[in-house]
Amino acid sequence: MRALQVREFLSDHAGAALADLPVPAPGAGEVRVRVRAAAVNFPDLLMTGGSYQLKPDLPFVSGLEFSGEVDAVGEGVEGWKAGDAVIGGNRFGAMAEYTVVPAANLRRKPERLNWDEAAAYPVAYLTAWVALVRCARVEPGEWVLVHGAAGGVGLATVDLAEALGTRVIAAASSAEKRKAIVGLYAPDAVISAGPGFREEVKALTGGKGADVIFDPVGGDVFDESTRCIAFGGRLLVVGFASGRIPEVSANMPLIKGFSVVGVRAGEYGRRCPGRGAENVAAIDALAAAGKIRPHVHTALDLADWREGFAMLERREVVGKVVLKP
């Protein structure tokens, strides 16, 4: 089978290459899936260089999330049979024609989603759900400012925030990305992510500021966000794409009455498995009902994986990139 295998931890993904590997056999409690699409996520890029917190034993196959069809089941597996359309994930292994995962890692593919959309939505929308619902406890009618709104997680947050009945301000770095966001989801406002956005946010919200701010960027964006958040607001720390981890003086949340909340969707599910299952069921139900609409920027053949990785590195993707094994 074709697979994107990482043999060495090297910069510029030099230790990764397409390989012809044996088709894996499922063990007890495992399922083999014929992969139809695998999403590209930033951790996939980082793992090829050994710069992610998880460093799998070498060699390993890249890829966190996928869609596909059950091909074979291992001993003791119940509830799955050959031909079932599924979505799933693991910490690696998805960028191959076949992948083997624990049966518990699979969910049924929402019928409304095609293979590409189904591969692209689980991680992004789960992060958005945990951020908005579990961490921010967002209410209909509240103002939600989404930074990095063209990225995979940011765009999912725009979509989900609208589905939850909030008023959405999407911030993105380029005019081209802002135009794309308007065409896809038509949020209440789309603004530049450049310096000075706080004044525009205050004007849009009648001077009070945003009730919830979703920040996967950090750095200067975080700093300025503390100056346009409403009293009682929730500033969600999702990541540091800017490269700088910001700091906030304790007097700022004290005086302005806002909270700074860290968002780790996967860790939330591991620590609170009951709620984690509820989170997954909630986004799957929204997808099945057509209330969320994942966007795939482009779908590439697995052989073109370098171009897919480069598109993320160049920050030109609106939504997600998927690879077709």
In this predicted model, what pLDDT tens digit does every residue of 254-302 receive, in sequence order?
Answer: 999 999 999 998 889 889 999 999 999 999 999 999 999 999 999 999 9
Q: Is residue 55 part of a domain?
A: yes
Residue 260 inside a domain? The answer is yes
Which CATH number is 48's domain given? 3.90.180.10
Residues 208 and 239 in one domain: yes
pLDDT at 96: 98
pLDDT per position as a tens digit, 48-60: 999 887 889 999 9
| Residue 163 domain-assigned (yes or no) | yes
φ, ψ of residue 125 to 5 degrees: the values are -75, -30
Q: Is residue 148 part of a domain?
A: yes
Residues 115 and 136 reside in one and the same domain = no
Task: State how far the alpha carbon of 228 is from the alpha carbons of 30, 142, 157, 238, 312, in Å.
Answer: 49, 14, 19, 18, 29
Whether the predicted pLDDT of 89 surpasses 90: no
Sequence-ordered list of residues with C-beta below 8 angstroms from that of 195, at least 6 positions apart, any chain:
220, 224
Domains identified in the chain, total number? 2
pLDDT of residue 242: 85
On whether both 6 and 23 belong to a single domain, the answer is yes
Whether 245 and 307 map to the same domain: the answer is no
Query: Do 38 and 161 reside in the same domain of the chain?
Result: no
In a domain, 11, yes or no: yes
Same domain membership, residue 251 and residue 159: yes
Section 116-134 average pLDDT: 95
Check whether residue 46 and residue 96 sit in a common domain: yes
Q: Are strands 16-20 and 320-324 parallel, antiparallel or unpaired?
A: unpaired
| Structural domain span for residue 15 | 2-121+295-324
What CATH number did the domain enclosing 217 receive? 3.40.50.720
